[in-house]
Structure 1
Amino acid sequence: MDVQVDDSSFRSIQMNRDLNNVVTKEIVKLQLNSTSSSHKNCCICSDDFLKNAANISSEDRYFIFFTRNIWILEGARCCSDHLVNHQLKQEAIDQIKQVPIRQEELNSADVQLLLNKSQIILENQNKKFNFGDLLGLTDDEYRLLTSLSKDDFNEFVKTVSSSGIRNSSNPSIRTAIGIYLCKIRLGISNRFLACMFQLPDKKTVSRIIDSARQAILRSFVPYNLGFEHITRHDVINHHTITVA
């Protein structure tokens, strides 16, 4: 069967293809503060790798670019001691050493991604109570809101995450656990929690708290509370006194 296509339609299709090719191949050259890029040295402290090294996540790369104006190349590696839960510690971010300004080439897709990431970072920074961001709260704020130190909270989240609790960006496991701990620590209403964490309504808070509670009951309580988590031998040796 013969299909006829008029010249105007063909030219329109061809122009769209050409435009897409131009956009895809467009390269922007920028002068950026950058870190060193080596598989032998840490891009954070510049020391030789003595222990296991780890790649820096894209989230940390974009965060550092927008907050410290330092570009970290994709695939850059750092000492594993600089990370906690696969994210850079605050002291590691403060320690980053930049090399002299150099030219970096970004394509149009990279630029679009940078714009999207900048919007996400800006939105997160506007949220005062943000457990999802490892750098969003200080240690004192963690203690005030949850009664746990920042390190203890991170360890607690790591333990509860093994229960199979559903992890999503809204809210994250960290946020769900944080809201639950705020509830039992401060005793405030679900409506107030919804306001604090910018959630739609108190029903959403209720679902989040129930999900976190179930996860804690599965992965934490059986191994840390009650008689099931301790042996009779340990009770006799460490939790009894000698009677004359």
Structure 2
Amino acid sequence: MEVFFLSARSLKRVHNDDPGCFDCRMKYLNWLKKVDEDFDHLKERDVNHDENSDNAMETDVDGGNKSDKCSVTEQHVKGDTSEIAIRVPRCTKSHRSCIVCELSDETCKVLSKQQRTLIFVKRGIFISEDARCCPSHIYNKQLNFDSLCQIRGTHFDKLVFDANRLEEIIADFRLIVDNLKTFDFDDPYSLSDMDYYNITGLHKDEFDIVVDSVVSMRESRIRSKRTTTALFCAKMRLGLSNSVLSTMFHIKDDKVVSRIIHQVTEALMKNFVPKHTGFRHVSRQTVLEQHQTLKANMLLTSNNQQVVVVMDGTYLYLQKSANNELQRRNYSTHKHRHLIKPMIITTRVRCLFAF
């Protein structure tokens, strides 16, 4: 019987023939005196086990029973195979139908390994390699959040994984956990539509429209257009300081947050604002047909060709600025607060002309 010891500090195996210093050897001898005869029953059990194993092997050889010998060999081989069976839910295995809506469509695309792994991590549902999905459920090469919630594991299978496959799954899980953030706008699985609205003030579809419109803003290796646009919208909606935003979006420096907000502002003023605000972004006929109510025509116009606009001046309260000049300009002696009073010109229904 081979005897080895385990180091209490380094957790390494220490064999009998390994060299050691005098201090360690004296500590071992003192410990051996304290625990003397405490492990004798373990030695006796190992000796009896070895004797029984030797007797069993001699019986097999003397008996000459080939069938018993073969069965022992088969059991030994089966015991050495590194496989494990796990009972997991799965969706349909059909190559023709979508795993989300279960409709047959010729435009369905095969899901990649990364997409199938993310579904298994988020929902615990196994997706086969031949599974397909409709293009309408995919945004930016990833399954969107609503489609992910609609997947149902209607069947249960016992999946057999070998050692290599388990190593791949564990590596994928570690990679996902390492890249996990508080919230990630680049990951379609991390945020729901309500989460988008609470952080940015826009629903997910509206946020996607804003991101697609800022074509002049370049993406970097670290930050994408979705992340920078979300940071700008969070600043406008929540009014948080740059230091808090840097913590939320995992940015190391507050100055980087200020630079991102400036870049997004320039991109929105160049690409988004001229197409969605101002008197030239929409025609007169479009305003009459889509942005004016019947009640406004009956009460405020003499014929159906007059446009009704609403002009409103309101107060927008501000925090006290660190800039002394700006602080003096936006302070109201009547309200005794820092504010601005913009004039908004809009139609009766969802059309902004000027601000």
**Aligned equivalents of 2:279 and 2:197: distance in 1?**
28
Asked if 2 retains the 8 angstrom alpha-carbon contact of 1:36 and 1:99, the reply is no
Q: C-alpha displacement at 1:111, in angstroms?
A: 4.3
| Structure 2 counterpart of 1:193 | 245
Return closer, same or farther for 1:218/1:54 CA change in 2, 3 Å cut-off.
farther
Query: Which of the residues 202, 206, 209 maps onto 1:148?
Result: 202
Query: Which of the residues 45, 63, 68 maps onto 2:123?
Result: 68
| Structure 2 counterpart of 1:83 | 138
Letter of the aligned partner of 1:102 in structure 2? L
Q: C-alpha displacement at 1:107, in angstroms?
A: 5.6
- Residue deviations 1:42-85 (CA, integer Å, cap 9, x gap): 2345x341463233344432212223343434463112343344
Q: C-alpha displacement at 1:185, in angstroms?
A: 1.3
**Aligned equivalents of 1:175 and 1:185: distance in 2?**
15
Return closer, same or farther for 1:210/1:226 CA change in 2, 3 Å cut-off.
same
SS in 1 for 2:208: helix
Q: C-alpha displacement at 1:177, in angstroms?
A: 0.8
Report 1:23-62 matches (<5 A). 31=85, 33=88, 34-45=90-101, 47-50=102-105, 52-62=107-117
Q: C-alpha displacement at 1:178, in angstroms?
A: 0.5
Asked if 2 retains the 8 angstrom alpha-carbon contact of 1:51 and 1:80, the reply is no
> Which structure has the bigger radius of gyration?
2
Query: Which of the residues 212, 215, 223 maps onto 2:275?
Result: 223
Asked if 2 retains the 8 angstrom alpha-carbon contact of 1:53 and 1:77, the reply is yes
Structure 1: which 5+ runs fail to align?
1-27
SS in 2 for 1:220: helix
Query: Which of the residues 254, 259, 275 maps onto 1:207?
Result: 259
**Aligned equivalents of 1:149 and 1:90: distance in 2?**
13
Query: Which of the residues 188, 210, 214 maps onto 1:134?
Result: 188
Identify the structure with the greater helix proportion: 1
**In the alignment, is residue 183 of structure 1 matched against residue 250 of structure 2?**
no
SS in 1 for 2:157: strand
Task: Point out the more displaced range, 225-234 or 177-186.
Answer: 225-234
| Structure 2 counterpart of 1:119 | 174
Structure 2: which 5+ runs fail to align?
1-81, 304-355
**In the alignment, is residue 242 of structure 1 matched against residue 294 of structure 2?**
no
Q: C-alpha displacement at 1:100, in angstroms?
A: 1.9
Return closer, same or farther for 1:122/1:58 CA change in 2, 3 Å cut-off.
same
Return closer, same or farther for 1:29/1:67 CA change in 2, 3 Å cut-off.
farther
SS in 2 for 1:228: coil
**In the alignment, is residue 92 of structure 1 matched against residue 92 of structure 2?**
no
- CA RMSD, 1 decimal: 3.4
| Structure 1 counterpart of 2:335 | none
TM-score (norm 1): 0.68
- Residue deviations 1:119-170 (CA, integer Å, cap 9, x gap): 3422454x3232222232333332222111233223332333xx15333562
Return closer, same or farther for 1:104/1:120 CA change in 2, 3 Å cut-off.
closer
**Aligned equivalents of 1:37 and 1:218: distance in 2?**
48
Letter of the aligned partner of 1:92 in structure 2? S
**Aligned equivalents of 2:84 and 2:208: distance in 1?**
37
Letter of the aligned partner of 1:170 in structure 2? I
**Aligned equivalents of 2:229 and 2:122: distance in 1?**
27
Q: RCO (CA 8 Å, sep 6+): is it higher in 1 or 2?
A: 1
User: How many positions carry a matched residue from both structures?
Assistant: 212
**Aligned equivalents of 1:29 and 1:157: distance in 2?**
47
Asked if 1 retains the 8 angstrom alpha-carbon contact of 2:148 and 2:189, the reply is no
| Structure 2 counterpart of 1:22 | none
- Residue deviations 1:198-225 (CA, integer Å, cap 9, x gap): 2111122123223323332333212111
**Aligned equivalents of 2:85 and 2:136: distance in 1?**
30
Letter of the aligned partner of 1:89 in structure 2? N
